[in-house]
Amino acid sequence: MRYYKTPSTLQRVFSSFVWKIPQEKPTIYLTFDDGPIPELTPWVIEVLKEYKAKATFFCVGDNIQKHSAIFRNLIIDEEHSIGNHTYSHLNAWKTDRKIYLQDIQDCQKEIEKRNGNTRFFRPPYGKLNFYLRTEIQKNYQIVLWDVLSYDFDEQLSRENCLKNVLKNTENGSIIVFHDNIKATRNLIYTLPRLIEHFGEKGFVFDKL
């Protein structure tokens, strides 16, 4: 079953994770997973700049290494937040835990090489186990989400992508988008319309 909005029961059971952050002033937290890539990340940065919005980028270490200028000159210099998304986009349910933890460290090294820093981690696919959760929380806040856009689903129409995100977003929502190739069509349609819609209602878009 597809959940655009994370069930409140799940958020309560795993209360040590960050799911949403309600604020006195209505605030939305845009997050982007998997980048940076030259095909999409610069466009995302430009849209955010146009609307004076801030966001958090959960970056894959391998993409930071390949596209370091985008990471440094756009994400860091434009003062967006950074999150660790492992070096190789690993699935924790299918990876030896020592390899997984090393992959996180490798991503962290790529971030720090370019004068970045982060205390946020998001597991690829949202998958972790108890041991990894305990170890990772020694060094990071684990950030999941309140709203998942499914922008990466190429079978989902762009209109429905926007509709579902608008329907489920509220004050404090952490929304997951992706700056990867599969998400391009849905993201390009949805992101500016989402920002305009909630901006007209007095919401601000902040980084974690």
CATH number for the domain harbouring residue 90: 3.20.20.370
Q: What are residue 84's DSSP bridge partners? A: 59, 121
185 domain residue, yes or no: yes
Q: Is 133 helix (H, G, I), strand (E, B) or coil?
A: helix
Whether residue 173 lies inside any domain: the answer is: yes
Q: Which domain holds residue 138?
A: 8-205
pLDDT digits (tens, 9 = 90+) for 86-120: 999 999 999 999 999 999 999 999 999 998 999 99
Q: What is the mean pLDDT of residues 56-80?
A: 96
User: Which tokens go with 9?
Assistant: 């029961």
The catalytic position among 33, 34, 146, 151 is 33
Predicted pLDDT at 3? 84
Beta strands in 90-173 (DSSP E): 120-121, 141-142, 147-148
Q: Tell whether 111 is covered by a domain.
A: yes
Q: Residue 98 falls within a domain, yes or no?
A: yes
pTM: 0.97
Over range 49-74, report the average pLDDT: 97
Give the span between the Cα atoms of 185 and 157, in whole angstroms. 9
Domain assignment present for residue 2? The answer is no
State the total domains in the chain: 1
Residues in the chain: 208
The structure tokens listed for 70 are 């985008």
Residue 1 maps to a domain = no
206 catalytically annotated: no
Structure tokens at 46: 């430009």
In a domain, 3, yes or no: no
Q: Which of 67, 85, 89, 178 is flagged as catalytic?
A: 178
Q: Is 85 a catalytic residue?
A: no
| Inside any domain, residue 153 | yes
The pair of structure tokens assigned to 154 is: 């190429």
| Mean pLDDT rounded to a whole number for the chain | 96
